[in-house]
Amino acid sequence: MKSFRRNKRVASKKQFPEGTINLSQSINTFGIGSMLEVQSQKRKQTRTTSAIVSGLDFWRADNLENIPEPDLCRLLNVEELKSPPSGESADYIPAKRFPRWLECSSCHYLGVIGSQFNEEVDGIPSCSSSACNGWGVPTRLISVCYSPNHSEGHSTSDYHIDDFPWVYWAHKNHEKCSSARIRLKSDGKKTGLDGLVLKCDCGAENTLRGALAADALKNIPCRGNSPWLNAQQSCDKKTRALLRGASNVYFPVTASTISIPPNSSRLVQTLQSLKYKEITAMYLNGKFSSGTVAEMLHDKIAFSSFEKRNNC
């Protein structure tokens, strides 16, 4: 078994907010495609950034430790296994801001960077409303696609995640305006989503009550958004809203194995006793299977005696 080392850092960019997670979390709770929150301090106030862990295409794989498990590679049909970065000098695990839609901490207008918010070098977006000193807080709802009938046979890579359709929801009972500016207001009576009202400057408004119902977004088709890959694909599934921090947003796909250290295998012991150090190292690093090692040895020793000594 591999031991888990602690203190891996997570950040979207070098100057952006960063946090630490341990190796077990980076494989399970905060694996690729999961969302995590990073807290940072600015003017003695805690600010939250929400990000989604990027796919392996964005990792610096050259710096990752190789895990020599040739049998597990064959089982999973992959060429090699890598460990997430670990240790004090570990590289960053790349992540991307998600959800894109933010709420101003002060005036409570909603929007994205480039319109309602300005990007700042420390990664805490500032509100662009005049005379507002607020900053962008991740919105609490997101949308996902789903299959009401799980027997349809979709693989986990067939599902997508996106921002909640804030402009659509604000205008659900009104005609959509051409330049929506929306903000969240409390109705001063109820708590939670039921007590929040989305208001557009055009006069349209709608409460968030019912937004989490399974059919609330039945008219919103999935855009096939995979922000952890910066990709979009066609998708015909239904969408629904979830709370950003809900436990049913992300399910890791894991495989586990019991690994017997290769140093104790009879093949390795025989190779070592025969002083084939180079071949032994290659085998331990997962470069060769026992079959290819046997082929290499064929020219060097009598194969029949090798078989007799290595019944494995």
The binding site for Zn ion (CB under 5 A) comprises 104, 106-107, 127, 129, 132, 134, 145, 160, 177, 180, 200, 202, 204, 222, 235, 237
Residue 21 or residue 144: which is nearer to Zn ion going by CB? 144
Least distance to Zn ion from the beta carbon of 164, Å?
Answer: 15
Please count the other Cβ atoms lying within 10 Å of the Cβ belonging to residue 111.
25
What is the Cα–Cα distance from 11 to 97, expressed in whole angstroms?
Answer: 10
Residue 72 or residue 180: which is nearer to Zn ion going by CB? 180
- For the chain, counts of helices (H) and of strands (E): 7, 20
Question: Is the CB of residue 203 less than 8 Å from the CB of residue 174?
Answer: yes
Question: Is the CB of residue 288 less than 8 Å from the CB of residue 296?
Answer: yes
Residue 64 or residue 204: which is nearer to Zn ion going by CB? 204
What is the Cα–Cα distance from 206 to 172, expressed in whole angstroms?
Answer: 7
Residue 230 or residue 259: which is nearer to Zn ion going by CB? 230
Burial of 204 (0-12, 13-18, 19+ CB in 10 A): buried
Residue 2 or residue 185: which is nearer to Zn ion going by CB? 185
What is the Cα–Cα distance from 32 to 93, expressed in whole angstroms?
Answer: 10
Residue 89 or residue 173: which is nearer to Zn ion going by CB? 173
Stretch (H or E) spanning 309: helix 303-309
Residue 144 or residue 271: which is nearer to Zn ion going by CB? 144
Least distance to Zn ion from the beta carbon of 27, Å?
Answer: 25
Tokens at 277, concatenated: 């150090």
3-state secondary structure of 167: helix
Instruction: Identify the CA nearest to 140 among candidates 171, 119, 115, 110.
Output: 110
Least distance to Zn ion from the beta carbon of 117, Å?
Answer: 9
Tokens at 116, concatenated: 């309602």
Least distance to Zn ion from the beta carbon of 153, Å?
Answer: 15
Least distance to Zn ion from the beta carbon of 72, Å?
Answer: 31
Least distance to Zn ion from the beta carbon of 102, Å?
Answer: 10
Residue 82 or residue 244: which is nearer to Zn ion going by CB? 244
Tokens at 237, concatenated: 């599934």
Tokens at 42, concatenated: 């600015």
Tokens at 23, concatenated: 């190796």
Phi–psi pair at 213, nearest 5 degrees: -65, 150
Least distance to Zn ion from the beta carbon of 156, Å?
Answer: 12
